[in-house]
Structure 1
């Protein structure tokens, strides 16, 4: 019996629908923990990669979960509650000293995430002139605080020379705008938000004073051993998104403004933030090295953290990270 046109069309449509379903079934399920809300501008490389389907292209079906900061993310990753998570390049130095077998597998830039953001009307223009001023950090067990201590030390100062206040992530921008803080150890998007509120600021990169690090993707030694294809796929997809932000910030800002509700109408702000990250955080001398950790940089940070009493012990610098998943073909 000849198949009718309607039946043939129905069969063809069923086949087309079945392909995406089959593809989805073939994807490897995994969980990624953000250290903060995923719509924050600091996570635009991930959002670009998600929107463009780069994770699916790598064979991954990612369950995106919001954690409670980099240290908590590292703990969850270490015990196997998530395959990968977000932190800072120095996070393994902190958590491995506490017995958590976590390593960095992708460093999102060649410079430091944190910057000194100083109100222009504070009378201070650099670190040395902040003496006696109120400086905000997220918490006293946070990279913004640790990097501030390092910047002070680089200028012959100590924490006693300034009034350091732990104000939480929400207070960093708000208290700078209100004038209750003179400066913060913060991120490029916070500086952009403060300036967007009409407050003039000076930005002094901590990278110029101390070899602090950018954001990082973390995983456990167990996941590295037992799920290397998952780690490789996630790292490669994220690196693809990072490269897109670096090479086409205009297109990336437009894409996110059109596709993510929290970014609607904020294309200009996103572009400004991406440009700041590109110059202050993501930039590397050689694009072939993008995503990799530098042993000498890691060693310098670890030694300072030990000397400052932030950690009680350190390991060889190479034990804190692996570049294998960045360089994988």
Structure 2
């Protein structure tokens, strides 16, 4: 009997130990746009290929109502982490939302300036009098466009800027009702897929634009640093997968995201654009990390342009401790 009881205790102890070994931290991540967009491929790969699980995380994806909503929900603790752009903390922290970037998905800028090849545009200096599409007037695509215009001595008054959303940018560009756009690689690919020849340039060749960022609140960073680290490292594994082999990453991605099951070639072209234009490391900026000089340059421009009224100490806008 004594041996039986001891054996039972041992079995229970072993079961508890095994359960603890496989325990996971629940994490909610909030996207600023539909999670099936190829821009979010590193996250889908991290989840589908078990990188979050390897980090001991049970991740749930949710979709917010744009970047401002994501920042608000993360700051309030309604989501553990969320998505934005490297400049998101510049905009929202000045308004009292205590969030900061914890990883930057690439050393180049996300925003691309693109134009129809039949418009006679050859660069930013030719945008005067032209129609240019942006996502909204409260979005990085618009802010970055202002920076591009300023680089050639133009202002928003010199250009017909139209905030028409992603669908509007694509359809109006195809129809020839927009000459140019400030946007992301997916939109350019969609326009080209309709048979419209496009030329483009990365915005960060003339303005210090930044890539996608993972954001977290100061409270979450303080209370759950290992969760933040595990999440960041898992997503960066997804970025590396795309950078090292866009074709293989596209094959994996379309299996995980059924909306793209019939468009593997198109997805591969988009992921290749991210690998070549956005993900490469910047100067003194290893993958995942922020460059404080770049942040300061963007904040200075936003202050001068009246997009923000208050400067925030740069060190409060980001941390590189989780990406290293």
Global fold match (TM > 0.5): yes
Residues 96 and 261 (structure 1), Cα distance of their counterparts in 2 relative to 1, 3 Å cut? same
Tell me the residue number matched to 1:260. Answer: 257
Residues 53-102 of structure 1: per-residue CA shift (max 9 Å, x gap): 10011001111101111111000000000110000000000000100000
CA–CA distance in 2 between the matches of 1:204 and 1:325?
A: 31
Aligned partners of 1:261, 1:105: CA distance in 2, in Å? 29
Distance in 1 of aligned mates of 2:216 and 2:86: 12
What TM-score results when the alignment is normalised by the length of structure 2?
0.92
- Quick one: distance in 2 between partners of 1:161 and 1:178? 23
Q: Is the 8 A contact 1:24 1:61 kept in 2?
A: no
Of the candidates 106, 110, 116, which is equivalent to residue 107 of structure 2?
A: 110
* Structure 2 spans left out of the alignment, 5+ residues: 1-14
Which stretch of the first structure deviates more once superposed, 117-126 or 94-103? Answer: 117-126
2:172 is paired with a residue whose SS is helix
| Cα-to-partner distance string for 1:13-46 (whole Å, 9 max, x where unaligned) | xxxxx99x94797111111001100110111111
Contact 1:78 1:220 in 2 (8 A): yes
Partner SS state of residue 324, structure 1: coil
1:81 aligned to which of 78, 82, 86: 78
Which of 158, 182, 198 in structure 2 is aligned with 1:161?
A: 158
Q: Distance in 2 between matches of 1:322 and 1:251?
A: 31
1:278 correspondence with 2:300 = no
- 1:90 pairs with 81, 87, 104, which one? 87
SS at match of 1:289: coil
- How far apart are the structure 1 equivalents of 2:262 and 2:271? 16
Q: In the aligned structure 2, how far is the partner of 1:306 from the partner of 1:130?
A: 24
Give the whole-Å Cα distance in 1 for the aligned partners of 2:168 and 2:285: 38
Local SS of the residue matching 2:271: helix
How much does 1:259 deviate?
3.0
Structure 1 residues 23 and 265 mapped into 2: Cα distance closer, same or farther (>3 Å)?
farther
Local SS of the residue matching 2:322:
helix
Which segment is superposed worse, 92-101 or 160-169? Answer: 160-169
Q: Distance in 1 between the 2:282 and 2:205 partners?
A: 15
2:165 aligned with 1:129: no
Distance (Å, rounded) in 2 between the aligned partners of 1:287 and 1:247? 21
How far does the alpha carbon of each residue in 1:79-134 deviate from its partner, in whole angstroms, 9 at most, with x for none?
00011000000000000010000000000001110011101112212111111011
Task: Spell out, residue by residue over 1:210-244, the C-alpha distance to the aligned partner (whole angstroms, 9 max, x if none).
Answer: 01100000000000000111101100100111111
1:165-217 deviations in whole A, cap 9, x for unaligned?
11012211111111111111010111111111100011011111101100000
Aligned residues: 309
Report if aligned partners of 2:22, 2:56 keep a CA contact under 8 Å in 1: no
Residue aligning to 1:53: 50
Matched, 1:244 2:241: yes
- Alignment RMSD (CA, Å): 1.7
Deviations 1:288-316 (A, max 9, x none): 81000001000000000000000001122
Indicate conservation of the 8 Å contact 1:149/1:158, yes or no. Answer: yes
* 1:177-188 alignment runs, 5 A limit: 177-188=174-185
User: Please, which of 303, 306, 309 is the counterpart of residue 309 of structure 1?
Assistant: 306
SS at match of 2:58: strand
